[in-house]
Structure 1
Amino acid sequence: MSQQSAIPFEREALDSVLKRRFFFAPAFEIYGGVSGLYDYGPPGCALQANIVDTWRKHFILEEDMLEVDCTMLTPYEVLKTSGHVDKFADWMCRDLKTGEIFRADHLVEEVIEARLKGNKEARGIIEEAAEEDAEKKKRKKKVKEIKAVKLEDSVVEEYETILAKMDGFSGKELGDLMLKYAIGNPATGEPLEQPKEFNLMFETAIGPSGALKGYLRPETAQGQFLNFSKLLDFNNERMPFASASIGKSFRNEISPRSGLLRVREFLMAEIEHFVDPQDKSHASFHEVKDVTLRFLAKDVQSAGKTDIIETTVGKAVASGMVDNETLGYFLARISLFLIKIGVDPARMRFRQHMDNEMAHYATDCWDAELQTSYGWIECVGCADRSAYDLSVHAARTKEKLVVRQPLETPLTVTRFEAEIEKKKFGPKFRKSAPLVEQWLVSRTECELEELAKEMAANGKIVFKVEGIEEDVELDTSFVVIEQKTRTEHIREFTPNVIEPSFGLGRIMYSIFEHSFWRRPEDKDRAVLSLPPLVAPTKVLLVPLSNSPELQAVTKKVSAILKKAVIPFKIDDSSASIGKRYSRNDELGTPFGITIDFESVGDFSVTLRERDSTKQVRGSVEDIVAAIKEVTYNGATWEEGTKNLKAFETKVEEE
Structure 2
Amino acid sequence: MATLTTKTGQTVDRSSLESLVRRRLFFTPSFEIYGGVSGLYDYGPPGCSLQANIVDLWRKHFVLEEDMLEVDTTMLTPHEVLKTSGHVDKFADWMCKDPKTGEIFRADHLVEEVLESRLKGDKEARGQKVVVDEEKEAKKKKKVKETKVVKLDDAVVAEYEEVLAKIDNYDGDELGQLITKYDIKNPKTDGPLLPPVAFNLMFQTSIGPSSNMPGYLRPETAQGQFLTFQKLLEFNQQQMPFASASIGKSFRNEISPRAGLLRVREFLMAEIEHFVDPEGGKKHPRFEEVKDTEMSLLNRDVQLSGSTKTEQMTIGKAVETGLVDNETLGYFLARIQQFLLKIGVDKSKLRFRQHMANEMAHYAADCWDAELHTSYGWIECVGCADRSAYDLTVHKNKTGAPLVVRETRPEPLRIEEWQVNLDKKKFGPRFKKDSKTVEAAVEALSQELREKLALDLQQNGKIEVDVEGVGSGKVELEKDLVSIEKRERVEHIREYTPNVIEPSFGIGRILYSLIEHVYWSRPDDEARGVLSFPPVIAPTKVLLVPLSNHASFRPLLQRLTSKLRRAGISNRVDDSSASIGKRYARNDELGTPLGITVDFQSVKDQTYTLRDRDTTKQVRASEDEILQAVKSLVDGDETWEDIRKRLPEFTGQEAE
TM-score by shorter chain over 0.5? yes
Question: Is contact 2:319-2:325 (8 Å) kept?
Answer: yes
**Candidates 530, 535, 540, aligned match of 1:532:** 535
Please state how far the C-alpha of 1:374 moved relative to its aligned partner: 0.8
- Report the TM-score, using the length of structure 1 for normalisation: 0.91
Q: How does 1:167-316 map to 2 (within 5 A)?
A: 167-279=168-280, 280-316=282-318
Residue aligning to 1:461: 466
Residue aligning to 2:111: 108
Q: How does 1:320-399 map to 2 (within 5 A)?
A: 320-359=322-361, 361-399=363-401
Question: Is contact 2:329-2:501 (8 Å) kept?
Answer: yes
CA distance in 1, matches of 2:290, 2:587: 37
Deviates more, 1:243-252 or 1:421-430: 421-430
**Candidates 27, 32, 54, aligned match of 1:29:** 32
Question: Is contact 2:6-2:517 (8 Å) kept?
Answer: no
How far does the alpha carbon of each residue in 1:316-374 deviate from its partner, in whole angstroms, 9 at most, with x for none? Answer: 11111111111100000000001101111111111111123224553311111111111
Q: How does 1:112-131 map to 2 (within 5 A)?
A: 112-118=115-121
Which residue identity lines up with residue 269 of structure 1 in the other structure?
A
CA distance in 1, matches of 2:416, 2:344: 53
Residue aligning to 1:577: 580
Residue aligning to 1:154: 155
Which residue identity lines up with residue 644 of structure 1 in the other structure?
L
CA distance in 1, matches of 2:78, 2:512: 32
**Candidates 99, 116, 123, aligned match of 2:102:** 99
Residue aligning to 2:459: none
**Candidates 604, 613, 617, aligned match of 1:614:** 617
Residue aligning to 1:624: 627
Cα 1:475–1:527 shift into 2, 3 Å: farther
Residue aligning to 1:550: 553
Question: Is contact 2:261-2:509 (8 Å) kept?
Answer: yes
Cα 1:437–1:291 shift into 2, 3 Å: farther
Which residue identity lines up with residue 253 of structure 2 in the other structure?
N
Determine if the alignment matches structure 1 residue 487 to structure 2 residue 490: yes
Q: Secondary structure at the match of 1:118?
A: helix
Question: Is contact 1:120-1:147 (8 Å) kept?
Answer: no
Q: Secondary structure at the match of 1:13?
A: helix
Please state how far the C-alpha of 1:438 moved relative to its aligned partner: 7.0
CA distance in 1, matches of 2:485, 2:613: 72
How far does the alpha carbon of each residue in 1:526-555 deviate from its partner, in whole angstroms, 9 at most, with x for none? Answer: 000111100000000000100001122211
Question: Is contact 2:441-2:466 (8 Å) kept?
Answer: no
CA distance in 2, matches of 1:48, 1:292: 28
CA distance in 2, matches of 1:311, 1:286: 16
Which residue identity lines up with residue 386 of structure 1 in the other structure?
S
Residue aligning to 2:320: 318
CA distance in 2, matches of 1:211, 1:421: 43
Alignment size in residue pairs: 636
How far does the alpha carbon of each residue in 1:612-643 deviate from its partner, in whole angstroms, 9 at most, with x for none? Answer: 11111111211111111111134211113432
Residue aligning to 1:595: 598
CA distance in 1, matches of 2:525, 2:133: 32
Please state how far the C-alpha of 1:19 moved relative to its aligned partner: 0.3
Cα 1:415–1:51 shift into 2, 3 Å: farther
Cα 1:438–1:511 shift into 2, 3 Å: farther
Please state how far the C-alpha of 1:4 moved relative to its aligned partner: 2.3
Q: Secondary structure at the match of 1:627?
A: helix
Question: Is contact 1:2-1:611 (8 Å) kept?
Answer: no
CA distance in 2, matches of 1:634, 1:74: 43
Question: Is contact 1:550-1:596 (8 Å) kept?
Answer: yes
Q: How does 1:403-422 map to 2 (within 5 A)?
A: 403-413=405-415
CA distance in 2, matches of 1:374, 1:485: 63
Please state how far the C-alpha of 1:148 moved relative to its aligned partner: 1.2
CA distance in 1, matches of 2:226, 2:71: 11
Which residue identity lines up with residue 152 of structure 2 in the other structure?
L
Aligned sequence identity (%):
61
Cα 1:615–1:106 shift into 2, 3 Å: same
CA distance in 2, matches of 1:602, 1:592: 19
Residue aligning to 2:127: none
Question: Is contact 2:5-2:11 (8 Å) kept?
Answer: no
Residue aligning to 1:134: none
Deviates more, 1:330-339 or 1:620-629: 620-629
CA distance in 1, matches of 2:73, 2:376: 33
CA distance in 1, matches of 2:144, 2:612: 48
Q: Secondary structure at the match of 1:523?
A: strand
Q: Secondary structure at the match of 1:321?
A: coil
Q: Unpaired segments of 5 or more residues in structure 1?
A: 132-136
Would you identify which runs of 4 or more consecutive aligned residues in structure 1 move more than 3 Å? 124-131, 413-430, 432-441, 448-460, 470-485, 649-653
Tell which structure's C-alpha radius of gyration is larger: 2
Question: Is contact 2:122-2:152 (8 Å) kept?
Answer: no
Please state how far the C-alpha of 1:417 moved relative to its aligned partner: 7.5
CA distance in 2, matches of 1:402, 1:390: 8
Determine if the alignment matches structure 1 residue 166 to structure 2 residue 171: no
Q: Secondary structure at the match of 1:587?
A: coil
Cα 1:575–1:233 shift into 2, 3 Å: same
CA distance in 1, matches of 2:67, 2:121: 52
Cα 1:342–1:297 shift into 2, 3 Å: same
Which residue identity lines up with residue 365 of structure 2 in the other structure?
T
Question: Is contact 1:7-1:523 (8 Å) kept?
Answer: no
Please state how far the C-alpha of 1:252 moved relative to its aligned partner: 0.5
Question: Is contact 2:14-2:133 (8 Å) kept?
Answer: no
State the superposition RMSD in angstroms. 3.1
Deviates more, 1:486-495 or 1:264-273: 486-495
Residue aligning to 2:650: 647
**Candidates 14, 17, 20, aligned match of 1:14:** 17
CA distance in 1, matches of 2:213, 2:56: 36
